[in-house]
Amino acid sequence: MTGSLKDYLMLHFIVLIWGFTAILGLLISLPAIELVFYRTLIASIGVAFLFLFKKESLLISPRQMVKVTATGLIISLHWILFFWSARVSTASVCLAGMATTSLWTAFVEPVFNKSKIKWYEVGLGLLVISGLLVIFSFESGYWLGLFMALGSAFLAATFSVINGKLTQQHSPYQITFYEMAGACLFSALFMPFYSYFLSEDGLKMNWEGYDWFWLLILGGVCTVYAFSVSVELMKRLSVFSINLTINLEPVYGIILAVLVFGESEKMTPQFYLGTTIILISVLSYPVLNFFNKRRKAKRLSGIN
C-alpha cells in the first residue's frame, strides 16, 4: 500500500488541524462541558448533512445503535477532560499529556483482545513515566491539568480500540454520527450535575465574540472534515504510516500554541525535556512494533 507525496502532505495537514484543537479550546470562551456539547452537536449535524449529500442510509440495527452511541459517552468524557486540562493549565501541558495516547493503546488493546503485553511496551511506558516525572517536578503548578490530560489520553485509547472493532461492522461515517450524537446527549445529561456540583457560576451557554466562528471551525473542520479526509487516506496509506504521523500531533500543537499565545505558553527547559522524552517513547513504539511483527513473520516463514 503506497501513497503519493500529496497524500502524505495531506495527512500531515490533518494532524496539524488536530493539534489546533487545544488552542481552539482556549480561544472559545465557553467552559469545557458546554464546548463539548456544541462541538458534538455541530459535528453530528455535519455528518448527517454529509449522508444526505451522498444519499446514503444512516440506519443500523437498534442493538448496534445503542452500542455505538454508548461509545460516544467515552468520547464526551475524553473531550471534556481534554479542554478542561487546557483551561486549568496550558495547551502545551495538555498536549504533553495527550502524547501518551498511543502508549495507553498498547496496554488497553491487549485487555480487549485478551493478548499478552509486549516487553518493549512496558519499557516505553516506564520511559513515558520518567518524562512525566521530569515535567511534574519542575511544573508542579500544572499537575491538575496534566492528570486531566492523562485521563483524556486513556479514554482516547479506549474508544479507539472499541472503534477498531466497530469499523468491521459499520462505515466510519455511521460510527461518527452515532458517537457524536451520543457524546452530545451525554454532555447534555451531564450538565445539571456539572452546574450544581462542579461550577460556581452555573452553565454558560451563550456565545461571546467570535465563539460561533471558532465552534464552526472546531465542529466542522477539526471534526467532520478532518475525520472524513483521514478515512479517505486510509485507502492509500498504510496504518503504520498514519499512526506514526498522528503521534506528531502534540509537537504541532505545542508549536502552534507558542506561536498563537506567545509568552503564556512558554514553559521551562525542563518541560520541553520531559515532553521530548515522552515523544521519543511515543515515536519509538510503532517502529519497535513494526520490527517485532517482521521478526515474528520471519520466524513463522522459517518454520513453514
DSSP classification of residue 116? P
Question: For the whole model, what pTM was predicted?
Answer: 0.81
pLDDT, tens digit (0-9, with 9 covering 90-100), for 9-56 = 888 899 899 888 888 988 999 999 999 999 999 999 999 988 888 777
- Percent pLDDT > 70 in the chain is 91
Q: What is the DSSP string of 5-65?
A: HHHHHHHHHHHHHHHTHHHHHHHS-S-HHHHHHHHHHHHHHHHHHHHHHHT------HHHH
* Residue 90, domain member (yes or no): yes
- Over range 65-73, report the average pLDDT: 93
Q: What is the DSSP string of 60-73?
A: --HHHHHHHHHHHH
* Residue 290, domain member (yes or no): yes
Percent of the chain that is helix, strand, coil (3-state, to 5)? 80, 0, 20
The pLDDT of residue 1 is above 50? no
Q: For the ranges 3-7, 79-83, 91-95, 202-206, which has the lowest average pLDDT? A: 3-7
Contact 254, 266 (CB under 8 A): no
pLDDT at 265: 62
pLDDT, tens digit (0-9, with 9 covering 90-100), for 219-273 = 999 988 887 787 677 667 765 566 667 767 777 887 788 788 876 666 678 878 8
pLDDT at 30: 92
Grid cell in block for residue 152: 483524556
Residue from 95, 135, 100, 78 nearest 258 by CA? 95
The pLDDT of residue 86 is above 50? yes
pLDDT at 234: 67
* Residue 10, domain member (yes or no): no
* Residue 14, domain member (yes or no): no
> Angle at Cα 91 formed by Cα 89 and Cα 95, nearest 5°?
105
pLDDT at 24: 92
pLDDT, tens digit (0-9, with 9 covering 90-100), for 104-159 = 877 888 888 777 777 777 787 778 778 777 776 655 678 889 899 999 999 988 88
* Residue 248, domain member (yes or no): no
113: left (phi over 0), alpha (psi -120 to 50) or beta: alpha
Contact 46, 227 (CB under 8 A): no
* Residue 6, domain member (yes or no): no
In order of 69, 156, 179, the CA distances from 59 in angstroms are 13, 26, 14
Domain residue limits at 36: 26-221+258-303
Domain count, the chain: 1
* Residue 226, domain member (yes or no): no
* Residue 13, domain member (yes or no): no
Determine the Cα–Cα distance for residues 196 and 201; give it in Å rounded to an integer. 9
Determine the Cα–Cα distance for residues 186 and 188; give it in Å rounded to an integer. 5
pLDDT, tens digit (0-9, with 9 covering 90-100), for 155-211 = 988 888 888 778 778 877 788 899 999 999 999 999 988 888 777 778 889 999 999
Determine the Cα–Cα distance for residues 156 and 111; give it in Å rounded to an integer. 15
Contact 95, 260 (CB under 8 A): no
User: 91: helix, coil or strand?
Assistant: helix
User: 304: helix, coil or strand?
Assistant: coil
pLDDT at 242: 66
